[in-house]
Amino acid sequence: MKQTIKLFLDEAPLWLVFIAMSFAFTIICLLTVVSINLILSSEQLLDFVLFKLSVFSSMLVGMFATLFTSIVRESQVFWEEAAILECKIDDADDKDSLLQIYTDDFEHLKHLSCGSLHNEELKRLYTIIKTKYKFVK
């Protein structure tokens, strides 16, 4: 079950993640509303207000969950590209190939970064490129 949820969050389209998260939270909210109504024996009008509130909050939770899923996916792409770039840097033998790696791959990776951990990795990779550039012919 855990693997299925992870696979769904990693590969499903974002609109489907939004629908699934909204639906799941709607069910949770509605079960909570039913429980509150059973305890308090409230009026029918209150049921409709709580129903609208639960649907609205479910939409908000769905949007935030979709945004979070999107950010996690982008971060995974960054780390995969960073690992590939590091291998390319290690395999580079001359200054021309290092310049090519910098202009193509490193610049592309800079556009994928979105946080302090990514920036630290970019600094580390840039330092490796710069140091290796000084010592290769």
In this predicted model, what pLDDT tens digit does every residue of 7-35 receive, in sequence order?
777 778 888 889 988 888 888 887 877 77
Angle between helices 44-91 and 116-135 (to 10 degrees): 10
Q: What per-residue confidence (pLDDT) applies to 124?
A: 92
Query: Please, which pLDDT band fits residue 51 given cuts at 50, 70 and 90?
Result: confident
d(CA 22, CA 20): 5
For the CA atoms of 55, 59, 65, 70, the dihedral, rounded to the nearest 10 degrees, stands at 160
Closest by CA to 69, choosing from 30, 118, 16, is: 16
Both structure tokens of 123: 């600094």
**pLDDT averaged over every residue in the chain:** 84
Q: What per-residue confidence (pLDDT) applies to 44?
A: 58
Which CA distances in Å does 115 have to 10, 72, 101, 125? 20, 12, 22, 15
CB atoms near residue 93 (< 10 Å): 10
* Residue 87: CA count within 13 A, CB half-sphere: 5
